[in-house]
Amino acid sequence: MKINTMAQFEEFLKTRIPTREALFMGDISLQRAKYFMKLLGDPQNKLKVIHIAGTSGKGSTAYLTSHILQSQGFKVGLSISPHIFDIRERMQINNDLPDKKIILKYFNQILPAIRKMENCKYGAPTFFEINVALAFYMFAKEKIDYAIMETGLGGTLDATNTVTSKNKICVITKIGLDHTEILGKTISKISSEKAGIIQKNNLVISNQQSVTGKNAIESRCEMQQSPIHSVKNRKNYKIISSTPQETIFDFIFQAAGDLGSGKQIKIKDIKLGLIGAHQAENCSLSLSCLAILSSRDKFKINEPSLRDALKNISIPGRMEIRKIGKQTLIIDGAHNPQKMETFTSNLANIYPQQKFTFLVAFKKGKDFEKMLKNIIPLADSILLTEFSTSTQDNHLSSTDNETISKFLKSHDFQNFSIIKNKQPDIKKNIWQSKKPVVITGSLYFIGSIYSWLKT
């Protein structure tokens, strides 16, 4: 049966959302993804792929890399997850949502393979696996120059990890404790999982990691004979200022052999349209990727176009500051303690002495207590709400607010209330607040209300 509308497409995908137990079935998930890609002719290996894994910053780094490469005149594919306001965010071309007709055309072309897999030993592909395969397939058909692929979870067994071509570049962002029930309970184990995207002879770029994280990544690189470039604060980038309007920093890159020509690349006073010092760090990973590609693929960096792209970039749900009437909204999808610590630290730095109204919801299973410990010192009041979704990679819901209420009371924070996740309730509380409103706790939560925050 042909899929004729986006509504039908999304309804079909809903039927492929697995139970949590079926979602993480180890090696069989990767084997299923590989078999699926084989049925499609392995389009992922016909592309130049930049593969991004990590705990914090991988979505921002993916967006930054995509915008940077587009600024150099390349046709770029971008696949991220989760999406915030439109499922087509998972398969962007030149940082735009593809036309719905394009999505439907290519989905109907891969549909026979999905049907065929319903009776195979691996089982039918999941929501996430279908979206990843569709992105790879569409990018190959559209003849894009570079495909930027963000992992969904982990790395080793992720559906994006079907790329086996040696020309893949791997980018590892900051690693911390998250998804410990799946990836492991130590930085070493989690780092090994993330580094699992590194295949034979891939070029690798990594953030400055903890000693145990660094050792795990370097061990994988040694095993795969993959050279690595580490991006370090004050050596490769130096932050000059961070304001509610922009982040300004200097960038330096120098590497030899497979990673570069040996010549130093220095770009001073970069004005980045993203807010927060951590975005200079993410951007430096992306700029290092550009430097390596320019050497490997023999093109000259167009600095004026690069500067223009970075100055004007914005990413939904990443320290996004909006002025609507007299109210200021600050929207950030921080959803683990590491991200929340970074976010609140930047918030305090950019708005010294300011208190905020926080509107929050946390995905069930997340360490909301550690996140709230970062929020409380900046909070005048906290609005607790909830979410549930069946339009993402798995069925999700938020932590029970009575549980959160008990935690707040136990920490002597009384100025909170529980509100429904309904448009009138959300808007009423936002506009009545006499303080700037910070919306955070989960990208899934932000996605559930994002369209309401435009006016």
DSSP string, 88-99: GGGGEETTBPPP
Confidence at residue 68, expressed as pLDDT on a 0 to 100 scale: 99
- DSSP single-letter state for residue 377: G
Q: 227, 200 in Cβ contact below 8 A?
A: no
- Rounded to a whole number of angstroms, the distance between the first and last alpha carbons of the chain is 40
Please identify every stretch of the chain with a pLDDT value under 50, giving residue numbers as ranges: none
What would the two tokens of residue 70 be? 């587009």
What would the two tokens of residue 228 be? 């690595």
Confidence at residue 27, expressed as pLDDT on a 0 to 100 scale: 67
- What kind of fold does domain 320-454 have according to CATH? Protein-Tyrosine Phosphatase; Chain A (3.90.190)
What would the two tokens of residue 126 be? 């999941």
Give the separation between CA 173 and CA 204, rounded to whole angstroms: 11
For residue 298, give every residue at least 6 positions away whose Cβ sits within 8 Å of its Cβ, in sequence order, or none: none
In CATH, which of 3.40.1190.10, 1.10.3720.10, 3.30.390.10, 3.30.460.20 is domain 6-312? 3.40.1190.10
CA 451 to chain centre: 20
Extents of the domains making up the chain: 6-312, 320-454
CA nearest to 57, candidates 321, 276, 356: 276
Give residue 147's identity as a one-letter amino acid code.
A
Give the separation between CA 341 and CA 56, rounded to whole angstroms: 11
Neighbours of 174 (CB within 10 A): 23
Confidence at residue 455, expressed as pLDDT on a 0 to 100 scale: 61
For residue 85, give every residue at least 6 positions away whose Cβ sits within 8 Å of its Cβ, in sequence order, or none: 316, 447, 450, 451
Give the separation between CA 93 and CA 400, rounded to whole angstroms: 38
Confidence at residue 126, expressed as pLDDT on a 0 to 100 scale: 93
Q: Phi and psi (nearest 5°) for 236?
A: -105, -20
CA nearest to 152, candidates 77, 55, 63: 55
Give the separation between CA 70 and CA 436, rounded to whole angstroms: 35
Neighbours of 143 (CB within 10 A): 9
Q: Provide DSSP, 39-81.
A: HTT-GGGGS-EEEEE-SBSHHHHHHHHHHHHHHTT--EEEE-S
Three-state secondary-structure class, residue 279: helix
CA distances from 14 to 7, 10, 394 (A): 11, 6, 9
Q: Which long-range contacts (CB under 8 A, 24 or more apart) does 33-37 make?
A: 33/125, 33/129, 33/132, 33/133, 33/159, 33/161, 33/162, 34/162, 35/117, 35/120, 35/122, 36/113, 36/114, 36/117, 36/125, 36/129, 36/133, 37/133, 37/136, 37/162
Three-state secondary-structure class, residue 289: helix
Task: Report the DSSP beta bridge partners of residue 451.
Answer: none
Helix (H) or strand (E) holding 280: helix 277-296
Q: Which long-range contacts (CB under 8 A, 24 or more apart) does 265-272 make?
A: 265/291, 265/301, 267/303, 267/306, 267/307, 269/240, 270/307, 270/310, 271/246, 271/247, 271/307, 271/310, 271/311, 272/246, 272/247, 272/248, 272/310, 272/311, 272/313
